[in-house]
A and B are shown apart, each in its own frame.
Chain A
Amino acid sequence: MSVMADLLVRTIKESPEIIKGLQTGVMEIFGGVIRIAKGQDGAGQIVAHLRFPDQQEALQNSLSQLQQAMSQQLGQVQNGLSSIQSSINVLQGLQVANLALSGLNLAVSVAGFVIVCQKLNAIAATLKQHSQKLDMIINLVLKGQQIESFKSQATFISLLKTLQQYSAVNDFQSMKLLVQPLIEQYEMNKLVLLEAVGSQESFLNSSFNELAVLQERLMYLGIAIGFVSAKTASKDQAIKHINELEDTLTEIRQKLVKVASSDKVLLNVHEHEFLTLKSITSFKKDISPALEYQRQTLTLIAERPELESVFLQNTDEILLIAA
């Protein structure tokens, strides 16, 4: 029982763990009891009851001891508070720095936006310049193509007109000189036409009206070469040229039908272009009787040269020549 009494009743001096608990804030005094402080394990639990001395002096001693213990705790709390204060100061400083950084970031964003806008404006201006230059180049190319087309047309017309003049005065020597440019023109037209009908892509990139003109020109050139050959070389040579012209036209139209009949071409041509295509295709069929007449006439004159004068004379009537 005495042991129990020792354990249960102690003076504050004999209870260092309670003093320590009060100092560290683990325990708190509530009136006449000491409880475990809020936030600790077993918070609110009574640790000890206080029995205050009856004598005034003894009570004052006990209170001063307790006050001393409490003041130590208060000092520690104050130290803690001041360290918290300094931390808050640091945090406030950081907050100001953060605000400054945010402002700076915004400024950088605005500056970045302005720079990007300026760059975009510069790119837009460059693109505009390039577009203008491209338009200029396209115009120049188109003009160049037009000039080439005019040159080619002028050469063709001048050749035929010159031939007509020489023929009118029977200047066979000068006519001979026209053979080479006539053949050159003929071959050039032939190559352009064959290239155009060579593939779907090149065909779709061609102007069908231009192809029609080139084909017609090819026919005139072929007949002109045949005519010059008949006058300056031999009728056989002339027939050979007429046959060559017919073969070339056949080759062109066969290739043209093959390429134009493809799904890709038919799905991409317009109605008016198809009419031109049909006209180019039927051209050989349309001129076949004329070519046949030329060939037959040349053959007849080659066999019976005396009939040449009959063919050369002007007549208003249809003449029948006995075979």
Chain B
Amino acid sequence: MEQKENKLLINQDRSLVELLKAASFDELSAIADVITDNGNGRTMLKETTKNEILKFQKRHSLQQAASLLDYEIRAFGSNTIVNVFRRKPVSYAEVVRDVAKRLGIKGLSIEVKVHEIERQILLALLTKAFKDKKPEEIERMLENDLDAESRENLHKNSRHGSHFLNALKSLSAFSLAKLVSSALTPAVLPIGIIARAPAMLNPIGLAITAAWSTYDLSGPAFRVTIPAIAHISLIRQSLIAQDIKKFQKELEACL
């Protein structure tokens, strides 16, 4: 009874499998592309697993493969942690904490929730990507990927060049997740073929991939883990945003 009373109205820390089950097909498809390297396969991915994921992707029923995607994301994440002797993949929370540690994020006590660590990872990647760029250059890069309100907010919070990177902190978790996940999703070519090379990423995506290589995160496992975290964070934040809208409507209905 006590536990029930202490339950927060909006659960910001849904488990990975819960998130994947609640995600849209497009969101899951982006994750499937990351895991299978756009269907080309990866050394660390079994051929049968790749085919299974591609089968669900082709049928537009990736929600049914939520458990499989959950397992593979954690397995790739586990390969980033030295776990030669581990049979089972580690939890998603552990994967996220490991990436955060490698990015040099401090203060990761046990109380810090996964959604907050995801946010800090995205922020750290963006900050690193924009480190040597001028504020005008960054604003130009963000022009197409941020909504007007977020851009205005960012502009208001950044008066000088040195403060611009700090101003990124003012972005909501949803804006950050949207920005990074879209930057790390390769552009779809007019002929419908998904571009494979990083050269097809937008300028922010290129800057981010360059940034994470400086953090000793350039291994094949991280090429899956980091974009996966960005996409998962977007799914989480989208669900939170949906919940917020739902409860706002409930309150307005009481008027």
A contact residues vs B (CB 8 Å cutoff): 253-254, 257, 260-261, 263, 266-274, 277-278, 281-282, 285
Q: Does B112 contact A (CB under 8 A)?
A: no
Please indicate the chain A residues that have their CB under 8 angstroms from the CB of B9 in the complex: 266-267, 269-271, 273-274
Q: Could you write out 28 A-B pairs with CB less than 8 Å apart?
A: A253-B254, A253-B255, A254-B255, A257-B251, A257-B252, A257-B254, A261-B251, A266-B9, A266-B10, A266-B247, A267-B8, A267-B10, A267-B240, A268-B8, A269-B8, A269-B9, A270-B5, A270-B7, A271-B9, A272-B5, A274-B9, A274-B247, A278-B250, A278-B251, A281-B251, A281-B254, A281-B255, A285-B254
Please indicate the chain A residues that have their CB under 8 angstroms from the CB of B250 in the complex: 278
Please indicate the chain A residues that have their CB under 8 angstroms from the CB of B247 in the complex: 261, 266, 274
Q: How long is the Cα–Cα vector from A263 to B244 in the complex, in angstroms?
A: 7
Q: Does B144 contact A (CB under 8 A)?
A: no
Please indicate the chain A residues that have their CB under 8 angstroms from the CB of B48 in the complex: none
Q: Does B214 contact A (CB under 8 A)?
A: no
The minimal Cβ–Cβ distance linking B240 to chain A, given in whole angstroms, is 7
Which B residues between 101 and 137 are near A, CB-CB below 8 angstroms? none
Which B residues between 29 and 79 are near A, CB-CB below 8 angstroms? none
Q: In the bound complex, do residue A266 and residue B244 qualify as a contact, i.e. CB atoms below 8 Å apart?
A: yes
Q: Does B12 contact A (CB under 8 A)?
A: yes
Q: In the bound complex, do residue A270 and residue B6 qualify as a contact, i.e. CB atoms below 8 Å apart?
A: yes
Please indicate the chain B residues that have their CB under 8 angstroms from the CB of A278 in the complex: 250-251, 254
Please indicate the chain B residues that have their CB under 8 angstroms from the CB of A254 in the complex: 255
Give B174's nearest chain A residue, CB to CB: A263
Please indicate the chain B residues that have their CB under 8 angstroms from the CB of A271 in the complex: 4-5, 7-9
Give A283's nearest chain B residue, CB to CB: B254
Q: How long is the Cα–Cα vector from A257 to B243 in the complex, in angstroms?
A: 16
Q: In the bound complex, do residue A261 and residue B248 qualify as a contact, i.e. CB atoms below 8 Å apart?
A: yes
Please tell me the number of chain B residues within 8 Å of chain A, measured between CB atoms: 19
CB contacts between A and B, total, < 8 Å: 54
Q: How long is the Cα–Cα vector from A110 to B10 in the complex, in angstroms?
A: 55
The minimal Cβ–Cβ distance linking A248 to chain B, given in whole angstroms, is 15
Q: How long is the Cα–Cα vector from A112 to B12 in the complex, in angstroms?
A: 49
Q: How long is the Cα–Cα vector from A290 to B255 in the complex, in angstroms?
A: 17
Please indicate the chain B residues that have their CB under 8 angstroms from the CB of A270 in the complex: 5-9
Q: In the bound complex, do residue B255 and residue A257 qualify as a contact, i.e. CB atoms below 8 Å apart?
A: yes
Q: How long is the Cα–Cα vector from A253 to B255 in the complex, in angstroms?
A: 7
Q: How long is the Cα–Cα vector from A266 to B252 in the complex, in angstroms?
A: 13
Please indicate the chain A residues that have their CB under 8 angstroms from the CB of B172 in the complex: 263
Q: In the bound complex, do residue A266 and residue B248 qualify as a contact, i.e. CB atoms below 8 Å apart?
A: yes
Give B250's nearest chain A residue, CB to CB: A278
Please indicate the chain B residues that have their CB under 8 angstroms from the CB of A281 in the complex: 251, 254-255
Give B249's nearest chain A residue, CB to CB: A261
Please indicate the chain B residues that have their CB under 8 angstroms from the CB of A282 in the complex: 254-255
Interface string of B1-27 (1 = CB under 8 A from A): 000111111101000000000000000
Give A263's nearest chain B residue, CB to CB: B244
Which B residues between 162 and 213 are near A, CB-CB below 8 angstroms? 172
Contacting A277 at CB < 8 Å: which of B4, B12, B244, B251? B251
Q: How long is the Cα–Cα vector from A260 to B247 in the complex, in angstroms?
A: 10
Known A-B contacts A266-B244, A267-B240; A260 and B8 likewise in contact (beta carbons under 8 Å): no
Q: How long is the Cα–Cα vector from A263 to B242 in the complex, in angstroms?
A: 11
The minimal Cβ–Cβ distance linking A283 to chain B, given in whole angstroms, is 9
Q: How long is the Cα–Cα vector from A257 to B249 in the complex, in angstroms?
A: 10
Please indicate the chain A residues that have their CB under 8 angstroms from the CB of B12 in the complex: 267
Q: How long is the Cα–Cα vector from A277 to B250 in the complex, in angstroms?
A: 10
Which 6 A-B residue pairings sit nearest by Cβ, starting from the closest?
A281-B254, A282-B254, A261-B248, A274-B9, A269-B9, A271-B7
Give A286's nearest chain B residue, CB to CB: B254
Please indicate the chain B residues that have their CB under 8 angstroms from the CB of A285 in the complex: 254-255
Q: How long is the Cα–Cα vector from A282 to B250 in the complex, in angstroms?
A: 11
The minimal Cβ–Cβ distance linking A278 to chain B, given in whole angstroms, is 5
Q: How long is the Cα–Cα vector from A272 to B10 in the complex, in angstroms?
A: 12
The minimal Cβ–Cβ distance linking B176 to chain A, given in whole angstroms, is 14
Q: How long is the Cα–Cα vector from A285 to B254 in the complex, in angstroms?
A: 8
Please indicate the chain A residues that have their CB under 8 angstroms from the CB of B248 in the complex: 261, 266
Q: In the bound complex, do residue B251 and residue A260 qualify as a contact, i.e. CB atoms below 8 Å apart?
A: yes
Q: How long is the Cα–Cα vector from A266 to B249 in the complex, in angstroms?
A: 12
Give B5's nearest chain A residue, CB to CB: A272
Q: How long is the Cα–Cα vector from A80 to B172 in the complex, in angstroms?
A: 84
Known: A263-B172, A266-B10, A285-B255. 11 other contacts (CB 8 A): A257-B254, A261-B248, A266-B248, A267-B9, A269-B8, A270-B5, A270-B6, A271-B9, A274-B247, A278-B250, A282-B254
The minimal Cβ–Cβ distance linking A92 to chain B, given in whole angstroms, is 53
Give A250's nearest chain B residue, CB to CB: B255
The minimal Cβ–Cβ distance linking B247 to chain A, given in whole angstroms, is 5
Q: How long is the Cα–Cα vector from A267 to B6 in the complex, in angstroms?
A: 13
The minimal Cβ–Cβ distance linking B120 to chain A, given in whole angstroms, is 17
